[in-house]
């Protein structure tokens, strides 16, 4: 460590002190000795890092040397530089950081940048005073940045850790006038929020724990940062799953969901939000080009939750449902209930050897029904949800109604319908219109034309238009059986 004698003749210059600190850090095999040395000296001497070594001849006070020695010793002991310094820059903020919360990472700055751009866009479906919730706020980096950079945003930040929330409160105190638009809540995820916010949020954003509990963390993280803010269950997906499922009911139609995750979790998370009825699901990259976070939006055309509840109850009871699907009203039956499927055939006087399409909420349900190779998965990724029907080999032998060994499966466009299917399981999705009778676009009118009375009708009108494009994937190459709404070569 640096030593300073009482005589001014022996006073250390900034350059000499820097060399002493650098040698000490290098001897301890610290992985960023130069950065650590400069940041420690900046903190203890007040000299801007950008001005060094221009000020290298400047003498350093006894007090500054003593503090430099103390901070250097902490860094030698393995403590993260950010905790040693006690503060760290995040976008336009200088945040207090300590072991009560995770150190804000540059990757999260990209996530916040995306959120700020969306909220500041001219999107008419974003409220003039958007309500934003940051779940698991830690230092407050996400919430405070949004409050600072999005004029008129009303920000709620939650954390289950009282200690982390106290740190966020300290940072909030330094935010200035924008702090008046931020509220902090202690509690577990959405349970921390007032119920009046259900269905009112313009954005839910979170950097939740997403590291697998089996993952070996580097010592600089494992020994210092709160692991409760890192580990997300055995596969790291516990809280990502929870937030993807629960956020939808808290968002207003058109509201955004933004979730940071591991680069190996983005595809799974995107597929989950598709299955849970979000639109525009997209994988986004960080500064390094790594897949880092998923964005998605609650659809504007959602049906009332009461209709979803009624339809789900009817399907679970083995009854039929009519709903306004993508192009025509659909006649829905739970696919795993053979009796219900047979009733759907009788309702239209349809021959039992004619297959009907099966609707799935996404790739996970499709995988359980049919065999999909990599080429078909790429096709699905490009066009689901939407008007693309895939004909594929059935996994469990022949269909109990038609006797066929293939299925036509599709992931429908309406988000609410995907939520229904995700809760109930795959459903048959033939048109509710009867052959030789004038086509009806209103679900109520289509239901009235059926030979069997259905248990529940979700009211509304389908928009009509082209039927889905049908692609046979059972041969050596993909074959378009019917050209439709999706234009394929």
Pair 430, 344 in one domain = yes
Average pLDDT over residues 221-243: 96
In a domain, 108, yes or no: yes
Give residue 452's pLDDT band: very low, low, confident or very high (50, 70, 90).
Answer: very high
Distance of CA 208 to the CA centre of its chain: 10
DSSP 259-292: EE--TTTHHHHHHHHHHTT-EEEEEEE-TTS-EE
Q: Residue 345: its pLDDT value, please?
A: 95
- The 3-state DSSP composition of the chain as helix, strand, coil percent (nearest 5) reads 40, 20, 40
Q: Residue 410: its pLDDT value, please?
A: 97
Give residue 49's pLDDT band: very low, low, confident or very high (50, 70, 90).
Answer: low
pLDDT in tens, 295-316: 999 999 999 999 999 999 999 9
In a domain, 136, yes or no: yes
Pair 394, 430 in one domain = yes
Q: Is the pLDDT of residue 334 over 50?
A: yes
Q: Is the pLDDT of residue 4 over 80?
A: no
Pair 12, 111 in one domain = no
Pair 313, 293 in one domain = no
**Cα dihedral sign, 377-379-385-389:** negative
For the domain that residue 36 is a member of, what is the CATH number? 1.10.8
d(CA 219, CA 473): 49
Q: Is the pLDDT of residue 54 over 70?
A: no
pLDDT in tens, 70-106: 999 999 999 999 999 999 999 999 999 999 999 999 9
Pair 377, 460 in one domain = yes
In a domain, 401, yes or no: yes
In a domain, 489, yes or no: no
State both tokens at 284: 């986004």
What is the number of structural domains in the chain?
Answer: 3
| Residues making up the chain, counted from first to last | 489
How do beta strands 154-159 and 201-206 pair?
Answer: unpaired
d(CA 192, CA 198): 12
Q: Is the pLDDT of residue 212 over 60?
A: yes
Q: Is the pLDDT of residue 64 over 50?
A: yes
Pair 238, 382 in one domain = no
In a domain, 275, yes or no: yes
Q: Residue 155: its pLDDT value, please?
A: 98
Pair 210, 267 in one domain = yes
What pTM was estimated for this model as a whole?
Answer: 0.93
pLDDT in tens, 121-135: 989 989 899 999 999
Pair 233, 145 in one domain = yes
- % of the chain with per-residue pLDDT over 70: 96
Give residue 5's pLDDT band: very low, low, confident or very high (50, 70, 90).
Answer: very low
31 burial type by CB count under 10 A (0-12 exposed, 13-18 middle, 19+ buried): exposed
In a domain, 28, yes or no: yes
Q: Residue 439: its pLDDT value, please?
A: 85
Say if CB 372 and CB 380 are below 8 A apart: yes
Place of tokens 């650590």: 36
Q: Find the domain containing 47 and state its range.
A: 8-78
Average pLDDT over residues 37-58: 80
Pair 208, 292 in one domain = yes
Domain boundary among 58, 78, 98: 78
Q: Residue 55: its pLDDT value, please?
A: 64
Give residue 50's pLDDT band: very low, low, confident or very high (50, 70, 90).
Answer: low
For the domain that residue 326 is a member of, what is the CATH number? 3.90.870.10
d(CA 481, CA 46): 72
Q: Where are the alpha helices (DSSP H) in 405-489?
A: 415-424, 443-448
Instruction: Report the range of poorest mean pLDDT among 197-206, 276-285, 334-343, 347-356.
Output: 347-356
d(CA 379, CA 161): 44
Domain boundary among 36, 56, 78: 78
Grouping H, G, I as helix, E, B as strand and the rest as coil, residue 75 is helix
Give residue 10's pLDDT band: very low, low, confident or very high (50, 70, 90).
Answer: low
In a domain, 44, yes or no: yes
Pair 330, 461 in one domain = yes
Q: Residue 213: its pLDDT value, please?
A: 94
Q: What is the mean pLDDT of the chain?
A: 94
Q: Residue 6: its pLDDT value, please?
A: 39
Place of tokens 């900046």: 42
For the domain that residue 193 is a member of, what is the CATH number? 3.40.50.150
Task: Let me know the angle formed at the C-alpha of 356 by 354 and 359, rounded to the nearest 5 degrees.
Answer: 165
Pair 220, 105 in one domain = yes
Average pLDDT over residues 450-461: 95
Give residue 267's pLDDT band: very low, low, confident or very high (50, 70, 90).
Answer: very high
pLDDT in tens, 378-425: 999 999 999 999 999 999 989 999 999 999 999 999 999 999 999 999
Domain boundary among 78, 110, 131: 78
pLDDT in tens, 152-198: 999 999 999 999 999 999 999 999 999 999 999 999 999 999 999 99
What number of CA atoms fall less than 13 Å from residue 393's CA on the CB side? 8
Higher pLDDT, 349 or 54: 349
In a domain, 106, yes or no: yes
Pair 43, 69 in one domain = yes
């Amino acid at each position: 460590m640096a030593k300073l004698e009482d005589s001014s003749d022996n006073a250390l210059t900034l350059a000499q002190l820097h060399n002493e600190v650098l040698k000490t850090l290098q001897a301890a095999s610290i992985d960023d000795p130069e950065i650590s040395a400069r940041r420690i000296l900046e903190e203890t001497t007040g000299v801007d890092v950008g001005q060094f070594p221009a000020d290298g001849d400047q003498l350093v006070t006894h007090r500054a040397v003593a503090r430099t020695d103390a901070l250097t010793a902490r860094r030698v002991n393995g403590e993260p530089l950010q905790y040693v310094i006690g503060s760290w820059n995040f976008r336009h903020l200088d945040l207090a950081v300590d072991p009560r919360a995770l150190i804000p990472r540059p990757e999260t700055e990209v996530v916040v940048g995306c959120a700020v751009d969306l909220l500041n866009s001219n999107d008419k479906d974003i409220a003039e005073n958007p309500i934003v919730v940051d779940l698991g706020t830690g230092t407050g980096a996400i919430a405070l940045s949004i409050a600072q950079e999005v004029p008129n945003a009303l920000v709620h930040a939650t954390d289950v850790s009282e200690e982390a929330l106290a740190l966020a409160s300290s940072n909030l105190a330094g935010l200035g006038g924008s702090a008046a638009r931020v509220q902090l809540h202690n509690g577990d995820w959405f349970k921390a929020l007032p119920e009046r916010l259900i269905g009112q949020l313009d954005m839910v954003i979170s950097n939740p724990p997403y590291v697998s509990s089996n993952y070996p963390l580097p010592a600089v993280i494992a020994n210092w940062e709160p692991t409760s803010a890192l580990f997300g269950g055995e596969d790291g997906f516990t809280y990502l799953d929870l937030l993807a499922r629960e956020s939808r009911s808290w968002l207003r139609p058109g509201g955004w969901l933004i979730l940071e995750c591991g680069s190996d979790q983005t595809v799974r998370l995107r597929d989950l939000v598709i299955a849970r009825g979000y639109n525009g699901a997209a994988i986004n990259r960080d500064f390094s080009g790594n897949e880092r976070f998923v964005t998605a939006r609650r659809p504007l055309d959602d049906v009332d939750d009461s209709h979803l509840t009624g339809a789900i109850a009817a399907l679970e009871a083995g009854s039929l449902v009519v709903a306004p699907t993508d192009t025509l009203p659909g006649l829905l039956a739970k696919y795993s209930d053979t009796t219900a499927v047979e009733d759907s055939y009788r309702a239209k006087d349809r021959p039992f050897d004619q297959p009907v399409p099966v609707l799935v909420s996404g790739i996970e349900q499709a995988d359980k029904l049919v065999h999909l190779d990599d080429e078909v998965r790429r096709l699905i990724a490009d066009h689901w949800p939407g008007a693309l029907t895939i004909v594929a080999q059935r996994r469990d032998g022949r269909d109990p109604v038609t006797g066929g060994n293939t299925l036509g499966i599709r992931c429908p466009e309406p988000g609410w319908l995907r939520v229904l299917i995700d809760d109930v399981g795959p459903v048959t999705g033939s048109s509710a219109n009867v052959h030789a009778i004038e086509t009806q676009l209103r679900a109520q009118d289509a239901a009235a034309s059926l030979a069997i009375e259905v248990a529940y009708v979700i009211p509304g009108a389908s928009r009509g238009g082209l039927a889905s494009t049908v692609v046979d994937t059972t041969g050596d190459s993909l074959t378009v059986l019917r050209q439709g709404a999706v234009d394929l070569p």
